[in-house]
Chain A
Amino acid sequence: MGKFQADWDGPVLECKSLSISYYTRAAEIPAVQDFNLALKKNETIGLVGESGCGKSTVAMAIMRYMGKNMAITGGQVLYKGVDLATLSEEELRQLRGSEISMVYQEPMASLNPAMKLDRQLMEVPLYHEHVSEQEAYDRAVKMLSNVKLPDPERVMASYPHQISGGQQQRVVIAMALLSEPSLLLLDEPTTALDVTVEAGIVELIAELAGRIQTSMIYISHNLGLILETCDRINVMYSGQVVEEGSVSEVFDKMRHPYTQGLFSAIPLPTADKNARPLQAIRGQLPLPHARPKGCYFGPRCDHFRDGLCDGGPISMQTVDEASGHGSRCLRWTEINWTRVGAGAGQDVHADFGESVLNVEHMKKYYELKDTSMAAMIKGGSSRHVKANESISFLAREAETVAIVGESGCGKSTLAKVLMGLETATEGTVNFQGKDLSQVPVQQRQRDDVKALQMVFQNPFDTLNPSHTVGSQLGRVIRKFGGITDGEAVRRRVLELLDIVKLPSDFYFRRPRQLSGGQKQRVGIARAFAGNPTMVVADEPVSALDVSVAAAVTGLLMDIQRTYRTTLLFISHDLSLVRYLADRVVVMYLGHIVEQGTTEEIFSPPYHPYTEALLSAVPIADTSIEKKRIILEGSLPSVINPPKGCVFHTRCHRKIGDICQSQVPPQVDMGGGHRILCHIPEDELKAMGPVIVQKGEPQEAAE
């Protein structure tokens, strides 16, 4: 590309008061307004914000991937000093992939499933630089080893589905870097991945940022990831950047109420509900065509002042000239920015009652019938998916038990067995004195069904889009409450809506008229409609934005406390688990590898897997230091799990052949804290904590 100077040393990318709109049937929707950014060479800027704040729109505008209904309505995008609006379609095609690359959220969607990876990777230099086949191949292999893929030649000869999700994302990153772009856009590159895999990718990105001559824009909703990868951060809210600055400035000296709100809404693995109660941001994101006058955050802000904040458009105020710290808040000098809430939480330790659920040696195998010709000849026609292997744990009244693990660890199967959608292969599930392990839900007593209910994960899926909120809740009440009188049912529905803090005119709303958080509240109301003894919550807030998630989490805990319900909280988010759980069960590949009280789990001794999980959690706190443990390899298949200890293929503390040959024993560390590991007890006890405040000693002295 002759158009761009190779030795340009001004900002690689500049956005000058960029405004972007979408056009819909109804009206023009201003998605992004007055967006400014100057990205220096080798710099990584993080764009953070909740869904709908316009961060992906900015990325699309930079790439100039604009559909029919999207247009830049003002401002400029300058790439190496050239206004992208002046380029022709052909010039843009040359630009994309060679000068600017992008990595998307879903790796499988970025790779062509019908093509081998070598072809897909080699295309980049072949198309953009017209090099020879051999050189393209060599470059691709080199790049694959640069992104830390073991055995690049084998990867080159594979189809996308033959490698794991984490490896796919590494291939996508390699592909993006192949033409040595000057700018790399990463749009939530790890959101679709498990935490331990995510940790590897994040480390790679952070390392690449230091090593190669590429500037990056990292888009994420997760502040912890931004801290680990970026130099500067732009916090976006409702189409505007509300605060910008270096990562350390913004994290430690935030000067916008929204940024402050975000930080108080995310749970940290260093604090529980007593030490640091989560504070949700009240209200919800304004719709783009219904933004308030003046400060868009005004209606949700505690520092809002009439006449000042709603006067008119607010421009970026300079906080610190030297570091480029700015805030779109007129009152930033007047607000007291010391963090509130720390230590202000009341003691919410409930006294637990009797055992409600007692699972003992529960196993769930799925039979896989192999009907292929080969299997018929060999004779072995059925294999087993060992989804749950010898699960034993206990949950008491009013207690919150968290089940933690990555995808494929068997936590959803466990929930299905509990709910009676599947029956156990072996063992007992003792619920309120009755063994339900072999009783499918259709055969359970109404009282048992009523006493054990569930909150689901996906807010867009949890309510039936064809029925109103009122009729869905009403159905549950009729079924469980023994109430049949129409007026009484309606009164009870309104009562439930009130409990989950929704206005009563939601009765006639349909799910599509509700936001994600509101739907999840209705889902909670539905689960609690029959006054259950125990509620299984399967990742109830993982699909929600942080500020909303905090509110929903708080609500769930309030209701649980009021009704002394047992809560079985399934999650992969250790920060959240630390925040609300009383006891934690860590699962890996169908086995419980560690269980104990929350304090026991989050402090040494750890099971090596728990240790790795903890180290993988991104933490949005600059005063925290973590031990870096990156797990090798990918999750083994449940059809063919490793012999001996299931974790030995990825374990960083493997002690020898014993791990490969023998199933490890349950070591009781005292007080019900059990670890499934071969490592001797005193060695486990000598482990140092993974997460420490800076300045504290890393390894324990013992």
Chain B
Amino acid sequence: MTDSALQLSKRPSAATRVLKAILLLRESWVGMLGAALVLFWILVAVFAPVLAPFSPNDNLVPIATPGTEFVTDANWQSGKFVAKDSCTPIEDEPGKVYCGTFWLGTDNLGRDILSRIIWGAQTVLIFAPMATFFAYLVGIPMGLWAGYSRGRVDAIFSFISNVILSYPVLVLYVLIITTIDRSSMNIVAAVVFASAPGIFRIVRGLAMDLRPREYVFAAETRGEPLWYVLFMEILPNARGPLIVDAMLRLGYVIITIGTLAFLGLGLPPPDPDWGRMISEGRQMIQVFPHISLFPCLAISSLVLGFNLLADGLREISLRD
């Protein structure tokens, strides 16, 4: 027996197992499309400093339509403006230099929309996952505890979450953010407060479903502590639906953050934020639709990406 103990084959490392799981996604083209969209925006966010043609907050040419070339005086100065050597002199017009193209145009303050969208991706991909993560951090333990123990714990938690859920979400956000201050962390806190009850309900349902399983009984009959039963016996088996839900929820949180910014309750200016960009272009939307249109497309493509990814994950988890 001890001989064979030494010959135990090593199990594949954690990294290869995760990789294998991700490769399963290949079987769902919907999931692949979603993953591609999400991955695209992640890459955009990571390489924003390289990809953005201009600085996002520079006032260059006000309300330039998409495709306008940025031509300016050779001795034009600006503190934050792109390095001057990237501009090329134009031969026909002495004294003028060509410094790039506003592929998506500029807004009323002359800021390049493409650059702002690229930088805005960073903002959204930092705060949305952070808010979702904290919401799960609150919702999961409460849901597990309530769903497993039932009784008074469940009654109290369910009551609290029902009260929160019965309140119109948007009003809730406005209330929270206008009461406490308008800062990035407060937005995260508001999102956590509003979405944790939903997560609580899902986790509670999953825990109630898994509670009568015999392996849970087995853990009880050997006197395992509560935390062990909750986090080691129940939670790992609820992870499938939770991952799918997290993807969907991430999409909603992105919309929420966008909505808040649109209402003027988002991140403080001047840093680029997709929701605020839409809001700022709103007054001119009939004349210059590009100012609002492109940030809109950015938000919807990212949300669509997460939703399709969730669909794909659900699809492959239902097979097998």
Contacts and interface: CB of A to CB of B under 8 A. Distances in A.
Contacts of A463: 215
Nearest to B213: A461
Contacts of A162: none
A349 B215 CA distance: 33
A454 B218 contact: yes
Contact of B1 (A465, A480, A498): A498
B23 to A, nearest CB: 14
Interface stretch (B128-136, B163-171, B196-204, B220-228): B220-228
B215 A464 contact: yes
A421 B220 contact: yes
A508 B11 contact: yes
Main SS of the interface on chain B? helix
Contact of A476 (B8, B222, B232): B222
A667 B138 CA distance: 61
Contacts of A462: 214-215, 218
Given A457-B214, A461-B215, A462-B215, 7 more contacts: A441-B220, A454-B221, A465-B237, A466-B236, A466-B239, A494-B5, A508-B8
A421 B217 contact: yes
Contact of A494 (B4, B9, B217): B4
Contact of A504 (B8, B11, B237): B8
Most buried by B among A454, A463, A466, A507: A466
B215 to A, nearest CB: 4
B2 interface: yes
A495 interface: yes
A458 interface: yes
Interface stretch (A173-181, A363-371, A442-450, A630-638): A442-450
B73 interface: no
B233 interface: yes
Contact-residue size bin, chain B (C-beta under 8 Å from the other chain): 20 to 34
Contact of B2 (A441, A456, A491): A491
Interface string B224-246: 10000000110011010000000
A450 B9 CA distance: 31
28 contacts: A25-B319, A419-B221, A421-B217, A441-B221, A442-B223, A449-B221, A450-B222, A453-B221, A453-B222, A454-B217, A457-B214, A461-B214, A461-B215, A465-B237, A466-B239, A467-B232, A479-B224, A491-B1, A491-B2, A491-B5, A494-B2, A504-B1, A504-B4, A508-B8, A508-B9, A508-B11, A526-B218, A530-B222
B236 A467 contact: yes
Contacts of B220: 419, 421, 441
Contacts of A457: 214
Given A25-B319, A495-B1, A504-B1, A464 B221 contact: no
Contact-residue size bin, chain A (C-beta under 8 Å from the other chain): 35 or more
* A-B interface, 8 closest residue pairs, ranked by CB to CB distance from nearest: A466-B236, A456-B214, A508-B11, A464-B215, A461-B214, A449-B223, A462-B214, A504-B4
A107 interface: no
Contacts of A454: 217-218, 221
Interface string B34-77: 00000000000000000000000000000000000000000000
A41 interface: no
Most buried by A among B4, B237, B239: B4
A505 B8 contact: yes
A420 B1 CA distance: 36
A377 B224 CA distance: 43
A490 interface: yes
Contacts of A494: 1-2, 4-5
A406 B223 CA distance: 29
B181 interface: no
B38 to A, nearest CB: 25
A504 B1 CA distance: 8
Nearest to A503: B4
B75 to A, nearest CB: 67
Contacts of B215: 461-464
B237 A441 contact: no
A464 B233 contact: yes
